[in-house]
Amino acid sequence: MGSGIIPYMSALPHVVILGGGFGGLFAARALKRAPVRVTLLDRHNYHLFQPLLYQVATAALSPGDVASPIRWVLRRQRNVKVLLADVHRIDAAGKRVVLNAAATGDAEEALSYDYLIVATGAAHAYFGHAEWAARAPGLKTLDDALEMRRQVLLAFEAAERETDEARRRRLLTFVLVGAGPTGVELAGALIEIARQSLRQDFRSIKPESARILLLEGGPHVLGAFPQALRDKARAALERLGVEVRTNAVVTVVDADGVKVGDERIAAQTVLWAAGVAASPVVTSLGVPLDRAGRVLSEPTLAVPGYPDVYVVGDVCALQQDGRWLPGVAQVAMQGGAHVARNITRAIRREPPTPFRYRDYGNMAVIGRAAAVVDLGRIQIAGFLAWLMWVFLHVFWLIGFRNRVAVMSEWAWSYFTMQRRIRLITGERLWPKAG
């Protein structure tokens, strides 16, 4: 069967969705039986399960384990057309999106819509220091994860050849900036790589001597969690051997490492997990944005002044019960489905309903068989929390093959303490000299 839109649908209202992440994908699925035709645009041809991206970066999983082609995910939904495209700007007054030139070299294209859902996600934020990006990669895409994995593994390889002790210590020092869930998960995974997975692989160095520093500018690790779980997470990281520093504001990131105040920390590898900013395409809407570049939306998730344009996930700033909704997958999933319902209501000439996020809890994994889970009144840490984390992440993965692959890799890693995906890819072999 072909994948094109059924011809009679051309007269139906056209819904354009920007982004194939959680928000965009759940919106498209929720429109399956709606009297609309849908065009989903994304600059990548895959949906990425971002909560497990750090496991690609730390050699636990392959890229294909955490990503699925968008066309395959939506293959049975005949009212959806998927286009690989990069959005240049949104012309909300003209009800169209302008696309960057295609690979064929054609001029810019414009795609008209009746309803628009903007779910383009977030990019890294370096707090006014864009020059740090080249030295301290963040973690938002598969390319980011592969580059991070490459830098980590190359640091050990370069240390094996290094004879100068000071340079070797620098090569085996890893600095992570930001102690939110991503930073904590990366730190726990890196210490496991050094002390378990690589322990018997080298002859001139002891990988377990690697120094892992987790730097947080605020007063707490996992600032969004209750105090009891923050303390347990920090204690678990320190037991593993991670050096955790709070109130440690990074002021310099350069070729030699980082500076925290007046202290210089020499490090070959610096990884960024400190902040995000909304995708810049929303600036073309010409509406008020918050400090992170997110649209200050209406309660219905509509853009102020444009009731036919909705924002979902990391590009949406909305308060609920006096608190800003967090930039997590569940908010995007629920927001995408809610926007789809409001579009269906609009087609029926019914008023839209305000979005109400249902918080199912928060969780972060720290290391092997260790995690923290916040379910509101119920707070869990340790092995049981880790089991809950495993179950929920496998449950939300797209595709049966991915679930089986991830479970088999995790089982093998749990019992052998090894990470099989230790492949160094890319043309440049050695890390840049500091």
Smallest Cα–Cα separation from 175: which of 244, 263, 236?
A: 244
Tell me which of 108, 162, 185, 208 is the catalytic residue: 185
SS3 280: helix
- SS3 (DSSP) at 349: coil
CA distance 250 to 217: 7
Other CB atoms within 10 Å distance of the CB of residue 22: 28
Rounded Cα–Cα distance for residues 55 and 394 (Å): 13
- 3-class secondary structure, 98: strand
Q: First vs last Cα of the chain: how many Å apart?
A: 55
**Encoded tokens for 112:** 């008209």
Buried b (16+ CB within 10 A) or exposed e, 229-245: bbbbbbebbeebbbbbe
Compute CA distances 170 → 58, 214, 257, 271, whole Å: 19, 16, 9, 14
**Main-chain dihedrals φ then ψ at residue 49, nearest 5 degrees:** -85, 85
Of how many residues is the chain composed? 434
Question: Residues 111, 16: contact at Cβ < 8 Å?
Answer: yes
What distances in angstroms separate CA 72 from CA 7, 45, 75, 235, 408, one per listed residue? Answer: 21, 10, 5, 43, 23
250 near 128, Cβ under 8 Å? no
| Cα–Cα distance list, 235 to 61, 166, 224, 371 (Å) | 26, 29, 17, 12
185: annotated active-site residue: yes
Catalytic site residues? 185
